[in-house]
Structure 1
Amino acid sequence: MPESLTVGVVADNEPYSSIEGRTAKGFSVDVLNELSKTLGIRFDYRVGSWPDIYAAFRRGDLDIIDEISWREDRAKNILFTSAYHLRQTVVMQNSAQPLPTIKTLDQLKPYRVGIMRDIYYRDYLVEQGINVIEYDLLPNLVQALAFGWVDTIIGPEITLNYMARREGFFQLEVNTLAPLKGMEIEDFRLGVLKDRPELFKKLQAGLQSLPAGWLQELNERWMQYDGQSPLRQKPLQLTRKQQDYLNRLPPLRVGLMRDYAPFSFSDNGKVQGLSVDILYRLQDLTGVEFVPVVDQWSNLFQLFKQGELDLIANISDMPERRAFTRFTQPYHRIPNVAFTRNANFRLNKASDLSGLRIAVGQGVFYEAAVRKLFPDQVISYTEQASMFKALMENQVDLVLAALPNGNHWIRELGMTDVWIAGELRLPGLIGEDLRLGLQPELQPLTEILDQALNDISQIEKRAIENRWLGAKAISDNETRITLSQKEQDLLDHWNYTITYCVHPDRYPLENKNRENRHDGMSASLLTILQQKLDNLRFEFLPTNNWQETLLALKSGKCVMAPMVVPSEKLQQNLLFSNSWYNASNVILGTLGSPFIDSINDLSGKRIGISRDSNIQPILQQRYPQLKLIPVDSTLSGIQQVREHELYGFIGGLAETSHLLQQESLGDIRVLGRLPVDSNFSVAVHHQYPQLLVLINKLLSSLNSTELDQIENDWLSIKLEQKTDYTTLWQLAAAFSLLFLALFYWNRKLGNLNQQLQKANEQLAHLSVTDQLTDLGNRNYLSQTFEAYMTRCHQDGRTVAIAMVDADHFKRINDNYGHDAGDLCLQALAQQMRTQFSQPDDHLIRFGGEEFIILTSDSSTERLEARLQTLRLAIAGHPVLQQQRSLHITVSIGAMVGPAGHSEQLDLWLKEADHALYQAKNNGRNQLVIYDRTTLASSRETP
């Protein structure tokens, strides 16, 4: 027997076999590699098209041919091993337009059915009266279903699923096994020529020795996870140098688009989407604190170029951006397609767009290329919704957009007559790669984030993709749960009953009530998950405290816990599902304590935190300046704040809000939100990875309505009224005692009212005042604007809203620390008070290093002179800190004009913001004024 054998492998049969560089990979190649180890023989792979390798095999140039199916005519010259894989032929559908479950071919007769040209079952379908449409390539077949050119397709299951995921068509799903009367199963075997019987026997014995369970797991891995391991085996491995670098990083500002659903979008003030989930997962893995900045793409991109953002999400790698951007590897790829109301139009090549009015997103990476080809046809829009409204109103003929984004807006706007004409393919611009872009000085972080992206498990990636791009993102249909054999065996062993335990005292998230039953959000979650799979039941094991719960999990008395935040310590014994709930954490304090703008405001102060808190290790690592004092419970911590033993208490917003309401603790309030959230997952005992896979399938089947209902049920205020007539006599007696005490109480009430009035006045002042600079805050601006405009209109005065922004302020924080930054902001505020000291001047800290001046005068020229004086005064007065001079300048953008009857604050702020961007673009330390009376004709679009 020779030391090596040549094996013919098909090059273009993903995910079974393909070529990457010079390396063959795929399910069949993995089988061959394992067989090579078993037999102790080296296999040399010869990769090519099926006709080429089959011809070479028949000539005797190859020892073995792979992926060959038994046929009677072939059996005359070839010896076939037993089948190591059976490939199923399935009916695939688009979940946006699902079919009924197909049981017979007659049910397909009303539909357009896509198939591969000259496929072996083609004639059978035609004989049965099926309307078939043939395609030359499998990718084209998948694309036809995604774009609605056919109603369904028939083809090999794993290959169709693989190509649908690779192309970003996550709405495609299997309907059923194709009803082809036995032709739906294709067998994969190894073949040798009949004059090699000894080789045949060896291969046959080797294949039969491969464990059936191993083959099944390999099949599952390639079918669902592209051949990668579905579970992350160990925490992110960082060098000491990398960890030290992360520990030194301040919170980083990340730009996220507000209208790029389902990747990032703002809904009721909360930014969410696939990119946001990826960002939070990276935050969990690295410990880097990301602060979202939400805006339109054009504004975000400009801020990033100016260095005002540390990172920007959903950016594509292009040569012209590399001078000022460091890119991570892609975390997602999506196709860009053409949406049109002309059902007969097809986009096959770029020239097909000639003569059409084309809508594109302003600043999108392919805008310049399309505009170069069709300079007079392209209309750019700053918002995605506006493009599709323009299409709906026949203002444009065609919209170019990412497939998931377009589908989202079509649903949102209720458009029923929109078709996908095809994919936009330009030289060098095929599809869209979504990455994180970082400032060049964050190059070390770029490499760490790449490591973290590789470390996100395939289960987590699939769960995130399914949440935002899967069937439920497009359809409200129930997602079917299919079990692998291992999952089925596990549930059979447990009689479909999964024992779990919870944190017994964390209401309303979860708790053990007086009847030893499970209450809270996690209880609702398990109730819904039970309904997803027939006969499934979750059995509650009560525990008395969190430590007892962890011991029960470790010992296996319970095999899962539904609401746990992953940590490095817990990952030693537990596996964690994809996160299913994100909870905010807050700092509580007394009414007299100021609101906090930064967690650094708490430095040196005694801050309580529960011993069971999941974020305590993160806070200790990221903010060593905090004095964290462990307490036994949330209620104990709040009581110590009331008694001034602690300055504040850190806890979950949901739990603390419930306690403040339940205990009527009106003298405690929220001082601020922490930049560290709790992302809750289901924890599973490490011996049951198949249970984790099942839990992730169940979680992935949840739709947004179900998740919202869980939150609404437990985080809304509930009032329950009950009447107990057996205790009426006790109430009567108590009333008598209360009446006797009323006189004493009335005397005391006067003093309490005085104290309360002072507290309310103090609270009212704090609610409209920025604590660092003692200027007004956003609430103050909102309350002042309308009345101020009315007065100015009556007096005929010219009004100015000016946005004042400190230039390169991030550098001061990074180079000299936040204390120096705070000192600069206070000095800037003082200069504003000096220059704008009239009774009708209103000064506001709008956020961070950005300020607002609301003022008026007799003319635009006088307002311009006052603002210029402010700019020069700030530039000419350095800030002294520890015998060091810190020089700061400001850029000012102002909207100036006469006040009308009913003005909208947002419109004035928007134009002032545009002017500020122009001042930044002009080189900073500039003043730019937009005159309202000439704005329409003179303003340049930034």
Structure 2
Amino acid sequence: MGQSGFCIRGMALITAMVLVFVLGVQRGGCATHDLETVILQLDWKHNAEFVGFYAAKDQGFYREVGLDVRFVEPGPHTDPVREVVAGRADYGLGQSDLVLGAMKGRPIVLLSNFLKRSSVFVVARPEIEQVSDLAGKAVMGDPAMGKVAELAHMFKAGKLDPGTLNWVPSTFDVDGFARGKADAMVLHVTDRPFVGTPGRRYSVFTPSDFGADFLGQSLFTSKESLADHSDRARRFVEASCRGWAFAMDQDEAVTAALVAAHVPKKSLETLILGVRAVKKRVLPATYDLGTMDRSSLQRIADTFVSLGMADSDYDLSGFIFDPSGGMTPLTQVSLTGLERRFLADHPVVTVAFEDNSKPFSFVADQGHQGFAHDYYGLLAKKTGLQFSSEFGSWTANLDRFKAGKVDLIDGISFDRDRQSFTLFSPPYYTIPLTLFTRNEFGFYFNISQLFGRRVGIVRDVYFKEALAGYPEINIVALADTQALMQGLSEGLVDAVIINLGDGLSTIRKLNLTNVRSAGAIALEGKTKEDLRIGVRVNLPVLLTIVKKGMAAVTASELASLRDKWLLPAPGSTGLRIHLTDSEKDFLVNHQVIRVGNEENWPPFDLNVDGEARGFGVDLLKLVADRIGIHLEFVPDHTWDETVTLFYDKKIDVLHSLTRNQEREKHALFSLPFYSSPHVLMCRKDAPPVTDIRSLYGKTLAMPEKWAVVDYLRLHHPEIKLIYTADTMEALSEVSQGRAFGTIEQEAVLHYFMKKYGFSSLKKAFTFDEFDNLGNASMYIAVRNDWPQLMDLMDKALKTVSPGEMAGLEVKWFGQAKQNHWNRGGTLELSGGEEAFLKNLKKIRFSIHSDAMPFEGDEGGAPAGMVADFIPLFEKKLGVPFQYVPTAANASAVDTLKSGRCDLLPMVAVSHLVDENLGLTEPYLSLSVGIIVNESFPFIKGLGDLAGKDVGIVRDSDLGPALVAGFPLVEFKTVGSVGRGLLEVSSGKLSALVVDLPVASNYIEKLGLSNLKVVGHLDRLKSIGMATQQKSVELNRIMRKLVDSLTREEVDGIYQKWVTLRFEHRFNYKNMWRYLFITALLFSGILFWNRKLSAFNRQMAEANAKLEQLSVTDRLTGLYNRMKIDDTLLEEIGRVLRYNYPLSLILMDIDLFKQVNDTHGHQAGDAVLIQMAKTMDKNIRSTDICGRWGGEEFMVICPHTDLKGALSLAEHLRESIARQIFPHVITQTGSFGVAQYGNGDSEADLIARADRAMYLAKEGGRNRVESVL
């Protein structure tokens, strides 16, 4: 039976081949010498996948359009894209990897797609039962295949790192794999029959089984080729489509015959099965041959982003070939005839938007803005719809929509009651539903907390019926969000339910300091508000167009809108950590994080007068600032209650705690941020104790529920325990002799010893047994269903520099961690550390070759301070240091990362953030300054250089922070410090930001006498050491080395190398001329003694004039920026000494640019002069007024609290509004007011006043606002 079947099929194949030949001969075409030869680069060996191209060639379709097509098989490492882009082939075949290439900027154009499903799979030996088993195995194929989209997706889903595969060059020899040349092989679907060969059993891994849905065979060319030969491309595509149509219409045997001519060694059975597999992937019943499914391409692009293989800001415009016009953008939607007729009949569609729903939809000076505005812009681009916008409150918009006065309504949520008049689109965004309350409410945990309270909602909101199910709640419906939040602040309602974005933006806009988020709320199971587009019920075709447009909005476009409008900004430092798309989505939906706050566990966590304080609190605030989240601290609970709330997910974060098995069931833990051993404290007159067992029979006073208490009860029940409320009470029990001792973390005990004395107590021993289990380290704990927040915490913790940590330690412990117990300048290494150094034999170090006087390379040897520090290090460690020069075009950091050296002895640990490096504490600090040409006027800081070209040295560790912190400054990269100084000297750059000692060295070396220092950055740059992160032992030794350095050792080396000329306030060149004149006159005193008094009067007048010029704004006659800043610093100093109130007023002239644009700059100057007179005339005698810059004025108000300053500002506002101004008649100003707070810097006070001033502007101008 089998033989007869084979014979019949063999005869069918012969018949088919004869038929194919006859058909091919009958077709006419161009003479061969008239044909244009083109090369088609295949991406696999000849097989049934290419049957349509074989048909186009063999049936003469290519000849008919003047083409002689030649097929080229690939070699083991052939990249079809590279061949086509290089011009070695005219056209090529590929799969979904073509999309990835285009996303990464490869200049290719997709011409057509024939196989709608991927044909790639992996076959493996039978003992390899799952994808992860392939790790370390020999796989036949090219290493690049690990990045093929469908395989990368399958590997990731199967938990396999492609880097662990041992790739064996492929010979496309299936039989070779069968003979054992490899453990697995990447194959195409046309090789699938091989898997079913009798007597063979294999494991088969298909990407589609892992959820991968990618395209198969696709035809492409280069952009250059298409530009030069667009007509040829059109002819080639048309002929290829005809070939595929022919192949799909034929009997399987005929189609197999087409393949057989190119694959003569394959059996009939194999060819027919291969053809069958190909036909299944063409899907002719679903797609026209050669067409490209844009939604599939978009989905593939988004998958590449999710795999981390491409960035989300990709651009695929021009990737798809349009035969009528060259190329077409990827995201254009296809419309039916009915939909196109609708667009023709409705050239404009009206939409109702909210006018005060920031950040989604709001109207500002610049017109309509927000997430919704930009989203509808995308819809218009993709569909051809043109939108006309109408604005109003939500209630007014809904009434307008019901009445049929608009076609669409934005931001509507699904509600069954609205289905009678609304067709709903899918949600285009969802955002958490949130309860907002006044601060004294506390935090929301369940709906019963709202019983008996007045709860505000927007009138006609979608969840009103859900609330109606709680008659115990008094519902108050108002027109819009602003009315609700204002009413909440003023006590008209007790709580408000709105979405998180609207609530937070309204709080910021209205400066509602007594209102906050109390937590997410769920109504009828809904925790999020779904923002949809509502369409009138009589416009169903419009809904289909809108839905197509929404489907065409890419994930990357949505991500861009999210980042622009919804992502919380980083805090005051301006330093933003890198965020994944998953982390960005998390932040949009979780901008307020609840943190447990202990009542009294200093110095880590305590609450003073309702404010969370402590080392852990400050660190967490620093971390939150980096992430861009707002922390709400939850006080007024015992530690046990706080932990229970955390386990119940009613608190999101705990901090400054150790890990144990119970906590790990409920929490995700950060990297350890602090380590402090547990020690025993006892009375000085107590008998000696050396370890934990010597405490058996004795009594310890311990706070109950501490982790160490559980350990003692379990492992040392022989120790008696009495329980106290907190550490303070425990120490008191020991001090008064009611307990032998207490065990607590060293840092905590140091705080209490320093603050409260306890002079009768001493440290007895360190509880190593407990600490060796990891209990010495402190962590941040995050609820276990928020892994994104845990990742964010870890990323942010890595950006906290040793210098910042040292600052927190000094603040809360009184000194840096390493000196808690007065270790002094000694270097004590353990036996293991000494053995490590002995085995290491030498420490290889590298340096920055262009950073004198700190370090430099002179004749192949280190120079500068480092040359003095290295012998000191060698002496302390007793091991030689070997210098390793950096390679050309490589940095010192690169040298360390690559393993060519072990240590960088001088790096900026305060700014360097690199997870691959292990950093020590700093041992040296230096100023970073601003260098300008001597002709440049004095400035206070970088903020005064807006719009100026300012140099930063290439690879400077300060670069990213400066660019982020000063977006208005035009930063330019220079190749070296010397080059930057020369460009400042010649005027090519306005300024250079540079380490001042390095600048001093170069200024002297280059002889640049026309440079000066006019300012410095607020923060110092801290120098420490760096090792590789994996070199844990060496890093620990280097930390000890840094700890051992004395101030005298460091200062002695530093002072040997550093000198610098610094201009603090004013260029006194003219004053020296006065002094020269003085000297000449003085020499004539013996002859003209009678003129002495006249001369003294002249000099006094000249000096007074000079002083006046240096502090006065030339235009207005008020104090200038320099003087007003100095005065503010002086007043803050007085506040610190005498403790009187101080307030600050900033005023900005409203719409001043229009004055200059309309009336000219002379008119603008006249307005400034009159404004200065009005301000100066209406302030009090104790107030100080100055022009702070441009059209901004500052008033310093000594002995004045916030209420008094607000009254003065309101008086000034009214006086200005009544004043008649030249040219413009009337003019107004916006005022911001702030009062100095305990611990404020000058910058803090100015920043609050500035923020208040901009609130006044956003609130409509001609207003007075304040920020606490």
TM-score normalised by the shorter chain: which range applies?
0.3 to 0.5
- Which is greater in Rg? 2
Question: TM-score when scaled to structure 1?
Answer: 0.39
Task: Compare relative contact order (CA 8 Å, sep 6+) and give the higher one, 1 or 2.
Answer: 1
